[in-house]
């Protein structure tokens, strides 16, 4: 049994005085010596936190005791060490940046796609009347995705609304949306319904829950996660690697951030090219004066920049 756990969760629920809630919640997390990244908005809560098993248990108990979060589900991973270095809890306009802020059009508490449990999702994957839609960004689905999934050329989820017209050809299909933990699908499926897609579903709990409850069957590659693990295994049934090194084309499951901090691009790179390019995506990036030291992981802790108070 590992000494630490990482918790992934979200909940769309109205939070009054959310900015103050974020400040209080940060203090609470620090009191438990948790590390992680939490976003608080008027529309809800989205977070990944990591710490000792005892600290995680105390955190989950506190969240579950708050009736605003009675629908919240935790995806729990046992880890060898905390998945973050620091604890951040910030107030923002949305808990996942989409630009879809009009509650009269998109409100996950009122209308979303039908939630499918992992085994239900698995059983529908190969049906002729189904299309499986990945609503994540390029660097995520390039690392791993469901077999035969439709992927979109987007760098950020906020670009998703611009792709709706490209999906019109699937309006007569059952559209099964999925993402890492489910949070993006809440708004993506709602937007599809708003634009006239009549039969829309979403993978409840996302890829992470699918791996735990359905063995990850037919998920190809690894799943990108937003902590220092970078990527996690999902498929225990028929695993395969689908990602290739950006630089040489070899098959590789390894994803890193470019060592040039001004580039910081997420990309897949084999170990050989990583050593040759010092963890950079290109020769040009290797010459940057602030290039970070590549330690083989390709994960870098953000260093706070001085604030000019003048």
> Which pLDDT tens digit goes with each residue over 16-59?
999 999 999 999 999 999 999 999 999 999 999 999 999 999 99
The overall average pLDDT reported for the chain is 94
Nearest to 125 by CA among 144, 156, 150: 150
> Which pLDDT tens digit goes with each residue over 89-124?
999 999 999 887 777 778 888 999 999 999 999 999
The whole-number pLDDT of residue 310 equals 35
The whole-number pLDDT of residue 100 equals 77
Residues 207 and 264 in one domain: no
The sign of the CA dihedral 270, 272, 273, 274 is: positive
Residues 211 and 119 in one domain: yes
Kindly tell me if the per-residue pLDDT of 253 is higher than 50. yes
Percentage of the chain beyond pLDDT 70 is 97
Which residue, of 38, 58, 91, is where some domain finishes? 91
Q: Is 176 exposed, middle or buried (0-12, 13-18, 19+ CB in 10 A)?
A: buried
> Which pLDDT tens digit goes with each residue over 143-163?
999 999 999 999 999 999 999
Kindly tell me if the per-residue pLDDT of 216 is higher than 90. yes
Place of tokens 């990108």: 224
What is the number of domains present in the chain? 3
The whole-number pLDDT of residue 305 equals 40
CATH number assigned to the domain comprising residue 179: 3.40.250.10
Residues 187 and 251 in one domain: no
In a domain, 289, yes or no: yes
Give yes or no for a contact between 237 and 215, defined as CB atoms under 8 angstroms apart: yes
Q: What share of the chain is helix, strand, coil (3-state, %, to 5)?
A: 30, 25, 50
- Active site residues per annotation: 179
Nearest to 93 by CA among 148, 36, 44, 143: 44
**CA geometry: angle at 169 spanning 163 and 170, to 5°?**
90
């Amino acid at each position: 049994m590992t000494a630490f756990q990482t918790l992934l969760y979200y909940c769309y629920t109205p939070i009054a005085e959310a900015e103050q809630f974020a400040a209080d919640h940060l203090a609470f997390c620090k009191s438990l010596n948790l590390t992680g990244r939490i976003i608080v908005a008027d529309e809800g809560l989205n977070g990944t936190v990591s710490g000792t098993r005892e600290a995680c248990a105390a955190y989950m108990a506190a969240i579950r005791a708050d009736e605003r979060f009675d629908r919240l589900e935790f995806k729990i991973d046992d880890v060898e060490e905390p998945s973050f270095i620091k604890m951040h809890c910030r107030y923002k306009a949305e808990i996942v940046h989409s630009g879809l802020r009009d509650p009269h059009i998109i409100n996950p508490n009122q209308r979303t796609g039908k939630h499918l449990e992992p085994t239900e999702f698995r059983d529908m994957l190969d049906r002729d009347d189904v299309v499986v839609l990945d609503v994540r960004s390029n660097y995520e689905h390039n690392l791993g995705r469901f077999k035969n999934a439709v992927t979109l050329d987007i760098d950020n989820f906020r670009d998703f609304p611009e792709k709706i017209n490209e999906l019109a050809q699937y309006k007569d299909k059952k559209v099964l949306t999925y993402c890492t933990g489910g949070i993006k699908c809440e708004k993506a499926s709602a937007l599809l319904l708003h634009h006239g897609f009549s039969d829309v579903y979403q993978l409840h709990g996302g890829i992470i829950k699918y791996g735990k409850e359905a063995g990850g069957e037919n998920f190809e590659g690894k799943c990108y996660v937003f902590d220092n693990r970078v990527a996690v295994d999902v498929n225990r049934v028929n695993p395969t690697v689908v990602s290739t090194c950006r630089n040489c084309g070899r098959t590789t499951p390894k994803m890193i951030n470019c060592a040039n901090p001004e580039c910081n691009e997420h990309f897949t790179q084999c170990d050989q090219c990583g050593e040759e390019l010092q963890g950079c995506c290109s020769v040009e990036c290797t010459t940057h004066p602030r290039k970070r030291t590549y330690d083989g992981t390709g994960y870098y802790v953000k260093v706070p920049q001085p604030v000019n108070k003048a």
